[in-house]
Amino acid sequence: MAKPSLKSLQTRIDHQFRRRSLLLEALTHSSYAREAGGRTRDNERLEFLGDSVLNLLVSIRLAETFPDYKEGRLSRARARLVSAEHLAKVAVLLELGKHLRLGRGEKKTGGATKSALLADALEALVAALYRDGGFEAAGKFVDQFVLPPDLAASANELLSVDYKSALQEYLQGQHLRLAKYRVVAEQGPEHKKTFTVEVSAGDGWLASGSGASKKSAEQQAAMTLLASLGRNPEPHD
């Protein structure tokens, strides 16, 4: 099946590249470049640059939108907005996977849908926009696709503590067994259920939490386990 044209992607992101080679480079995975025998540049250099450009642009927007917030809260919000998980979701929204140039082996293993690969390509695309149209072009893209439509209204979601991530970081830092979550109970009517989730991690550690959704129950369980370990992920800001 033929790939969709680059014109459709440029229309989607509302930027016509003066240097089309930059866009091609941003969409080229190392597996494709290797098979091309060194005649094609992959997107790793652009990915490196895009990471810095993205962090700067998101930092500027957050500082402008939340002038009274201290560094800890702003850093937490930025971490969510530039996380691989979030960037991969943006890439899926843009159907970036359909445009990627992948090697034969990477295609066979579903490279076009791999979250890490999509997040890397999204960073490379930001860098390509910056090199083609400067901070104005890159900033326009970030505002439209990376940031929430109403950044100020998203404060609670962006600034809340992600206890699951905090627990994972702690366990990884201690070289301990990573957390596993399982639903152990569901109560109430279908439209108003309460879920109870148990988390197990580390050296036989257990904790549980409840919430109106599985995700909120997992967060509660992770928070309870962190508290039992004497860990407080809340920044002092």
* Catalytic positions, written as ranges: 51, 123
Residue with tokens 């962090």: 55
Quick check: helix, strand or coil at residue 94? Answer: coil
How would you list the strands of the sheet with 205-211, edge to edge? 180-187, 194-201, 205-211
Residue 186: count other Cβ atoms within 10 Å of its Cβ: 12
Q: Measured between alpha carbons, how far is 17 from 108 in angstroms, rounded to an integer?
A: 30
Extended strands (E) in the chain? 180-187, 194-201, 205-211
Contact between residue 111 and residue 31 where contact means Cβ atoms under 8 Å apart? yes
Cross-strand pairs, 197 = 183, 209
- Which stretches of 14-114 are DSSP H helices? 20-26, 30-35, 44-65, 71-81, 84-93, 104-108
Distance of CA 134 to the CA centre of its chain: 23
